Amino acid sequence: MKIVIVGAGSPYSPEIFKELSGKSEILPVEEIALVDIDTKRLSIIHSFLERFSKRIGIHARITSHAHWNTALPGADFVITQYRVGGNAARVKDERIPLSMGFIGQETTGPGGMMKALRTIPVALSLAHSMERLCPDAWMINYTNPSGMIAEALSKYSSIHSVGLCAGGIRPAQQLAKAASVREEEIRYDFFGLNHLNFAYNFTIHGKPVSEELLQKTLESRYDEATEPLIRALKLFPSSYLQYYFRTQKRYNDITTAEKTRGERVLELEKVIYDAYANPACDDEPAELKLRGGGGYSQVAIGVLEALYTGVDRWMVCNVPNQGTVACLPNDAVIETACIVNAAGIKPLPQPNFPKTVWGLVCAVKNYEQLAIEAAVTGNRDLALAALVAHPLVRDADRALPLLNALLEANREFLPNFFKES
């Protein structure tokens, strides 16, 4: 088996290795090809991974590539974790909306749209290369915004692909903790989109979860959204829903903080790469914890394992709707409970999705579909319509100057919008 990691210069690449550790019988990896355009970071991470592999018993050959074309031939799985424009672009995604009175966040709101506009053309370019060089391989994407990338891939490429997010297992983790059971015993329905979703119909080993236990589990969300609302909905919401349900508070929190999350990450990165570069370092450095945002690898390797071994596995993934949720288009990618096996990934039906929140999900999906079309075509009208469709913007008078500022600031990463004449 050959795995390609695109964006392998990321400080999270070692997580993937850690997940593969001890699974060599089930997952006989022969080569792990690291791809990154930032060859300096790639070199640091590659060297570290050689030392780390030795320590944790990974025997696969590790190779480095400045472009994916040399890495893709022979690939079985392509794991993607690149960030177009890096964290510097992320800071703009945060700061520009904030300065104009809107939520500024990596994936939610106008910042998320800009990340999509920068990333989708690159994701499709990679997919088209895979169509030529490794047409049977799976792309396991966890570059954000994961659901939008997945929808663009499913609409505009023929390769096998799936979008992942660590958020899908949060409800299981919280309920397992509240009920003192193993995560594997827990199942639930899952309604919505990446970073905008709700878990419901919880069971532990087939028995419905009691109202009391559910509320105990939801307590972990009480600091993130107004308590009476969460209690009324009886749904386990994604933590990103605080941007929708507590917009004013979140806006105040971010703007009064000294630094945005992107700015803090930018600072931390220097420290983390210094740690990785230390030739004595053969384990994940303590500094990585400060970075936050990990946990994807458990999900990614879980999906990879079910696809490879063919053992059926219940997981939350981003896949086309295909009629499972009646209020959304069939071609809309949703984040939902799926069954993964060698034959692929299929969503499970949701005949009774929650009555309280479907309208919000439709509104955000409408935004997503418009933004995807804007990304593919470079059409400014579609980008404006997308922002107006977004519940966190909607006001057209304010959306237009916001759009102009965001496009201008991202000019170098938006060739579709700024075509040379």
**Active-site amino acid positions:** 240
Residue 416 is a binding residue for a copy of itself (CB under 8 A): no
**Cβ–Cβ under 8 Å, residues 139 and 3:** no
**Is 397 among the residues that bind a copy of itself (CB under 8 A)?**
yes
Q: Which residues contact 359 (CB under 8 A, 6 or more apart)?
A: none
Q: Which stretch binds a copy of itself (CB under 8 A): 64-72, 259-267, 275-283, 310-318?
A: 310-318
Convert 108-156 into a string of H (helix), E (strand) and C (coil). Answer: CCHHHHHHHHHHHHHHHHHHHHHHHHCCCCEEEECCCCHHHHHHHHHHH
Structural contact between residues 158 and 97, judged by C-beta atoms closer than 8 angstroms: no
What are the Cα distances from residue 236, in Å, to 217, 277, 288?
8, 41, 28
Q: Map the footprint of a copy of itself across residues 98-157, applying CB under 8 A.
A: 136
Task: Name which of 382 and 406 has its Cβ closer to a copy of itself.
Answer: 382
Smallest gap, in angstroms, from Cβ of residue 346 to a copy of itself? 5
Nearer to a copy of itself, 75 or 89 (CB): 75
**Contact 335/190 with Cβ under 8 angstroms?**
yes
Q: Is 272 in the site for a copy of itself (CB under 8 A)?
A: no
- Shortest spacing between CB 188 and a copy of itself, in angstroms: 8
Q: How far, in whole angstroms, is CA 385 from its chain's centroid? A: 24
Contacts (CB under 8 A) with a copy of itself, residues 335-354: 339, 341-344, 346-349, 351
Select the residue interacting with a copy of itself from 73, 292, 310, 415 (CB under 8 A). 310
Task: Based on the shown chain and the rule CB under 8 A, indicate whether residue 77 belongs to the binding site for a copy of itself.
Answer: no
Residue whose CB is less far from a copy of itself, 66 or 232? 232
Rounded-to-integer distance, Cα 286 and Cα 267, Å: 15
CA atoms of 7 and 81, how far apart (whole Å): 5
**Contact residue for a copy of itself among 26, 66, 88, 232 (CB under 8 A):** 232
Selected binder of a copy of itself within 37, 74, 213, 245 (CB under 8 A)? 245
Q: Which is nearer to a copy of itself, 149 or 364 (CB)?
A: 364
- What's the closest the beta carbon of residue 169 comes to a copy of itself, in angstroms? 15
Residue 361 to residue 347: CA distance in whole angstroms: 17
Show contacts with a copy of itself in window 165-224 (CB under 8 A): 184-185, 187, 203, 205-207
Q: Which of 37, 56, 229, 266 binds a copy of itself (CB under 8 A)?
A: 229
Around Cβ 263, how many Cβ atoms within 10 Å?
17
Restricted to residues 319-338, the positions that interact with a copy of itself (CB under 8 A) are 322-324, 326-330
| CB atoms inside a 10 Å sphere around CB 329 | 15
Q: Counting contacts by CB under 8 A, is residue 97 touching a copy of itself? A: no
Rounded Cα gap, residues 349 and 358, in angstroms = 15
Residue 355 found at the interface with a copy of itself (CB under 8 A):
yes
Q: How many residues bind a copy of itself (CB under 8 A)?
A: 72
- How far, in Å, CA of 34 to CA of 263, rounded? 27
Q: Name which position in 35, 130, 165, 225 contacts a copy of itself (CB under 8 A).
A: 225
Q: Which is nearer to a copy of itself, 314 or 418 (CB)?
A: 314
CA atoms of 272 and 292, how far apart (whole Å):
12
Decide: residue 4, CB within 10 A, 0-12 exposed, 13-18 middle, 19+ buried: buried
Kindly report the CA angle at 98 between 97 and 104, in degrees rounded to 5? 65
Name the minimum Å distance from CB 263 to a copy of itself. Answer: 26
From the CB of 72, what's the least distance to a copy of itself, in Å? 19
364 to 393, contacts with a copy of itself by CB under 8 A?
364-367, 369-370, 381-382, 384-385, 388-389, 391
Do you know the residue count of the chain?
421
> Measured from the CB atom, is 211 or 258 closer to a copy of itself?
211
Which residues make Cβ contacts (< 8 Å) with residue 138, sequence separation at least 6?
76, 77, 78, 159, 160, 161, 162, 304, 307
CB closer to a copy of itself out of 50 and 219: 219
Q: Tell me which amino acid residue 40 is.
A: K
- Stretch of residues binding a copy of itself (CB under 8 A), selected from 54-62, 89-97, 360-368, 413-421: 360-368
Nearer to a copy of itself, 107 or 242 (CB): 242
Say how far apart CA 399 and CA 386 lie, in whole Å: 10
